[in-house]
Homo-oligomer: A and B are copies of this chain.
């Protein structure tokens, strides 16, 4: 071990280099960092996970197609060859806009203060339960590897518990899956769970019949995949229904608990859906760092916590701070990977431009180039909207989806093994990554024991009250 002081090895000799700090290792942060590879700056990426997450394929980790490593390469490995970039594990607690520092804390409590000349805030967004955070325990979101592995445990576990149960009503509860939110993630999850039930697990059980499982996809909006337009939305809905998914639109979720979901139907009447497994794919809330920036600078944030940025993706009055990706609001650009990637590159280009033009000349404002959107509904079936004219659905769209996702997956290795796992899943009927940890099983047990104890206590109290 070297006992050198704490400066980065490569830069100790050149302290005058511009210091760029990037918060977040998602699409925005990573694309900004990589774009700066040959620029004469020092980049520090601070992120609370040690991996980059390819979120568009998270649902495949949740449903046993891919392993977590395939969609979450170590950020450090991705940036291995980029000498001017270092990676710092830690959760950012404070951005001090006046002092120009970022404070982060690691899992064991180390606090690090990193000074910056330019800051790129790309901390993304988490799931939003619209003020009902207690839903999260019963209906995990789809935002992190943790979420995906938790849902994997619950989905496969539900079939296991249905097989063990002797009570027909309870069996039906275990075999009912509710997905809230009919955006791309919700559509993909519902389609995958239906495929698990009807195809993958078909011959795995002896007592229950997995093909009798119910999969419900709920949304408060009147359409599936609203940003794709009516035509593709209807196509996707039709394909989902062909697979056995019950699509219920204009339905508002008002409560979620361990056994089910309470909804309000389009006619205003309340209804209960008994279901043990719920997935929440209904809303996003930007990182709380947005609010912190707003409080310090007077910038505005919208209801989802996103910072309203200038046309060049900077914080009003603070040209040295970029806010990009799911954390920002600009011209109603959608919260998708493409926007984050393009803004990441734009921020990097702006930094390069400023280094070359110390006179203060400016780049053109950021303009999002929409390459289109796609979502898979089932194997061999996707919908793709390139623009208003080119809209595809079915097998061709699915092939496009396949190609695009392979291209954007980071790392050759991940592309090869992912392709292999897809072959196993799409051509065969298997799922290679069904493993659930014992700790997840134990956590579930603890949850239930508490509930049983509570019920027993209430029953006891009721009895005492009566006596």
Q: Are A89 and B161 in contact (CB under 8 A)?
A: yes
A88 close to B (CB within 8 Å): yes
Closest chain-B Cβ to A83's Cβ sits at a distance in Å of 8
Central interface residue in A87, A164, A441, A442, by most chain B CB within 10 Å: A164
Interface hit among A43-51, A326-334, A354-362:
A43-51
Residues of chain A at the chain B interface (Cβ within 8 Å)? 1-3, 6-10, 48-51, 64, 67-70, 72-74, 76-77, 80-81, 86-90, 106-110, 112, 144-146, 149, 156-157, 160-161, 163-166, 168, 171-172, 175, 201, 203-209, 212-213, 413-414, 416-417, 420-421, 424, 428, 430-439, 441-442, 444-445, 448-449, 452
Q: Are B1 and A164 in contact (CB under 8 A)?
A: no
With contact pairs A1-B172, A430-B77, A438-B146 given, residues A108 and B67 touching in the complex (Cβ less than 8 Å) = no
> How many copies of this chain does the complex contain?
2
Q: Are B417 and A9 in contact (CB under 8 A)?
A: no
Q: Are B168 and A3 in contact (CB under 8 A)?
A: yes
What are the residues of chain B within 8 A of A68 when measuring CB–CB? 67, 433, 435
Closest chain-B Cβ to A266's Cβ sits at a distance in Å of 26
Q: Are B72 and A435 in contact (CB under 8 A)?
A: yes
Q: Are A168 and B1 in contact (CB under 8 A)?
A: yes
What are the residues of chain B within 8 A of A145 when measuring CB–CB? 435, 437-438
Closest chain-B Cβ to A416's Cβ sits at a distance in Å of 6
What are the residues of chain B within 8 A of A10 when measuring CB–CB? 206
Whole-angstrom CA separation of A428 from B77 in the bound complex: 13
Q: Are B86 and A207 in contact (CB under 8 A)?
A: yes
